[in-house]
Structure 1
C-alpha cells in the first residue's frame, strides 16, 4: 500500500442500537446523524457538547438524507421509511408522504443516498421470503415525486455511493457477497451495464459504503467485524478491525472531514455473542491520517415539495 494511512479509535458513542445504520455527517450543524431501523429512531450526536438526541419516527426507516432548503421548510430530511418515501421533520414530527411502491409485502426499504446532483435513491430488501411476491429493487425518486425502479432482482440492496466525479455508482446485493459498479450519467441519472468491482468473503456481507476524496470505497463487512477500503480498481488496500462483528454503515466526517464513523448492530446476536462483544450496537469514531471525506450532498427538491 502506497499511502501511509493511520486509523485510530478515539471515541465510542454508547447508543446501544438494535440495528444502527445510515450514518451521515452534517457539516452545517457539526453533528453526526444515523438511524436505528428496528427501534424506528433517528439519532443525532454533537461532538462539541457530547449530546446525544433521539427522535421517534412514525415507522421503521431504511435510510435518509438531509434536505437542501431555504430555512423556511416544514421538513428537514427525506426518508425511505419501511413502506415508502416521505419528507420528515424530526423536531415537529411533520410528515409528507411522496410515494409508496406497490407490492411491498414481505419487503421493506433499506440503504439509500443522494447522488452528486442531489437526487435521492434507496433500495428495498426481502425481509420475509415467505411473504414476498417479488424480489427487491433499487429506486430513484424522480422530479415528480415518483419512485422509479432502476435495478431489479435484488435480495438486500446496500452499499450505495458515488465516485467523487459522480460518474460511477457503487451498489451491493449483500447476500451475493459482491459489490458492483455502474457507469453513471450525472445529467440523466441513467446507469450503464453492471461491472464487477469487489467480492467479500463468505463470512462478510457488504453493507453500507462511502467514498473518500481519492475515490476509494470504504465498505462495512457485516458479520466479519471490519471496514475495508478498496482502491478504484477494486483491490482491497486497508482493513480496519472493529470490536464488534456487525458494522453496518460508514461515513467520513468530523470538523476536518478526517473521522471514520461506523455504526453497528446487535440484531440477531446470542447472549454469549453479546457478552463477548459488549460494544455491539454502539457508534465508533476513528481518527484518520492522510485521508479526507467528501461533504455530504443534500437532497435538492422542487420548492413545492417542501410545503405542507
Structure 2
C-alpha cells in the first residue's frame, strides 16, 4: 500500500475513524481533547466539534444527523452541530477507575461498546466489560473481566465477531448469533508480541481483519485463520484505528496518537497524532449503522 495523504491534525489520542458516504467525510474523535473531527475527502475541509465529555467511540444512525456516542461515562444521542445531548445509559460512575472505549455497530444494527480500566487501584484488575445495546435501547453485558476493550468488528457474513483486550495483547474470535446478539465459543485469534497492543480494527470485503497495533507503528492484516497476510508501516508508533473510505472503499485510513510521547520521541516521529490515508490494494465494507427503528425510550440495562 502507498501512503497518499497525511492530514495534519496532531491529535493527542485520535481514535474511532469512520467513513460516512452521505457527506463524503471521515469522522473520528480525539478522546483526550474532547473533540470530534470531520475531514471532507475531496475538498479537504476540516471541521472540529467540541464534545461534552471525552468521546470514546460513536456510530452513525440511519436517516439522522445525530450520532449514538459512547462518552467516557456512558451512551448518549449527540448532535455535533447543535451540541444537544440526550443521555441513555451511564455505564460508569465518577471515581470508578473505568471509562468507555472502543465501539462499533454489528450487521444487524446493534451498537456495541467496551469499557477500559484507567485506574487499576480503583477499578480492580481486569474489571472492564463489553456491552451490547439492542435496537430497543436495552443494554446487555456480553463479556466481563477485561482490561482494555478494543478491536470490535464482524466478518462479512456477520457470523463471527472479533474483539481484543489490548492489555493482554490478544485478539479473540467468537461465534456470533445475529438474531440474538449472543456470542459464544471464544478462542484466541492472534497474540501480539510484547512491543505491540491490538487497537481499533475493521474487516475488508474478503474477510481479512485489519488491526492498528499500538506501540509497533504498524497496521497488520490477518487472514480469517489468524495468519498475518501483510503489514503496513505507519509513520507514528501509536496507530489507533483503521477504516476503509472513499467512493470505492479502497482507501485505508489510520488515526494515531501523541499521548505519552516525550520530546525525543516526537522529534523522531513528527507526524504522530495525524491521520494517514493509504491507497489500498483491497476494498473494505460499508460501515454498519444503527437501524432507523432504534428506540431507546424507557430502555433498561442488565445488572
What TM-score comes out, normalization by structure 1 length?
0.93
Pick from 198, 212, 223 the counterpart of residue 190 of structure 2. Answer: 198
1:170 alignment partner in structure 2: 162
2:140 alignment partner in structure 1: 148
Rounded Cα–Cα distance in structure 1 between residues aligned with 2:31 and 2:188: 29
Residue 302 of structure 1 deviates from its aligned partner by: 3.4
Residue 101 of structure 1 deviates from its aligned partner by: 2.3
The C-alpha deviation readout for 1:174-197, integer Å capped at 9, x for no partner, is: 011110000001111000121111
Rounded Cα–Cα distance in structure 1 between residues aligned with 2:46 and 2:296: 30
8 Å CA contact retained: 2:256, 2:275: yes
Deviates more, 1:297-306 or 1:91-100: 297-306
| C-alpha distance 303-175 of structure 1, shift in aligned 2 (>3 A) | closer
Rounded Cα–Cα distance in structure 1 between residues aligned with 2:23 and 2:213: 29
Q: CA RMSD in A?
A: 1.4
Pick from 114, 124, 132 the counterpart of residue 115 of structure 2. Answer: 124
What TM-score comes out, normalization by structure 2 length?
0.94
1:62 alignment partner in structure 2: 56
- Counterparts of 1:1-308 in structure 2, within 5 Å, are 7-69=1-63, 71=64, 76-101=66-91, 105-133=96-124, 135-289=127-281, 291-300=282-291, 302=293, 304-305=295-296
| C-alpha distance 303-170 of structure 1, shift in aligned 2 (>3 A) | closer
- Runs (4 or more) in structure 1 with deviation over 3 Å come to 301-306
Residue 133 of structure 1 deviates from its aligned partner by: 4.8
Rounded Cα–Cα distance in structure 1 between residues aligned with 2:57 and 2:208: 22
Gapped regions of structure 2 (runs ≥ 5): 298-303
Residue 147 of structure 1 deviates from its aligned partner by: 2.5
